[in-house]
Structures are given as structure tokens and as C-alpha cells.
Amino acid sequence: MEQINIQDLIPQKEPFIMVEKLLFCDLERTKTSLSITNDNIFVENDIFSQSGIIENVAQTCAARLGYLNRNQPVKIGMIGSINDFEFSGVLPEAGQEIITEISVEAEVGQVILLNASVLCNENMIATGKMKVVLTDKEI
């Protein structure tokens, strides 16, 4: 994938950016990466929290929308619901990288239903479903 500044794709700004690189994106699937650092706001005692993983999934969806709509202003979205999220019990540590992949289950109007999987060191650390609702607000 071409070198893209992730901040051009998502509405979030530092220190709340939870995706670092867009690895792949098409209409149905998107894959991002994030290197966990000690100064990340979701890191406590060198461990990246479940809340950080959830936000990473939502921002992977935002990166998808930003990439697919590159010629338009970035719209702000909100997490509408989180369903069936399971965590393996092993959360990533500072210094590790997570790879997040989402697949769109349905997209109707301003609502996106997606399935997510998050890997660390090629081990599944989280899976689940999320509903993201787009607003008409642009950044």
C-alpha cells in the first residue's frame, strides 16, 4: 500500500490516534497496524487496555472511510454498539505491534456493521462486532 499519512484519513488527533499505518483497504476489508508506545493514553503499567483495542477497531473503520473517500472531507463517526467482543486474556505490551482487520458485514446509509479481529505477534487477542454511525459533521 502506498505511503499514506493516517492523519489525513481519520478525524482523531494526537494524542488520541490509535492507528499508525493503513496496510490494506478495499470496499469489504481493511487492515491497519499500531505500534504500542509507553506514552499511549491507553497504556497503563506497560499494558495496552481493552478500551484502547476497541478504539483501535473504530479508528480502523475511520481509516477505511477516509481512504475510500479520499477526495471528500473526513466525516466524524461514533461507536453505535459493541457486540460479542472477546479478549484472549493477553493484552499487548508497550513495544509490541497490533494488526487489526475489519470486514464490513453491512453498510446501510450512515450505519456500518463490521466484524473485527486484532492480532499481536500473530496471536488473536480480540474479536468482535461493532456498529459505527457516521454523522454529517466534517473535520
Give the start-to-end residue ranges of the domains of the chain.
6-138
pLDDT tops 70 at residue 41: yes
Smallest CA-to-CA distance from 130 within 31, 55, 28 is with 55
Taking all residues of the chain, what is their mean pLDDT, rounded to a whole number? Answer: 95
The CATH classification number of 6-138 equals 3.10.129.10
In this predicted structure, what is the pLDDT of residue 1? 61
Smallest CA-to-CA distance from 99 within 30, 53, 36, 33 is with 33
Which grid coordinates are listed for 133? 454511525
Host H or E run for residue 59: helix 50-68
pLDDT tops 80 at residue 2: no
pLDDT tops 70 at residue 96: yes
Lowest mean pLDDT among 35-44, 47-56, 111-120, 129-138: 129-138
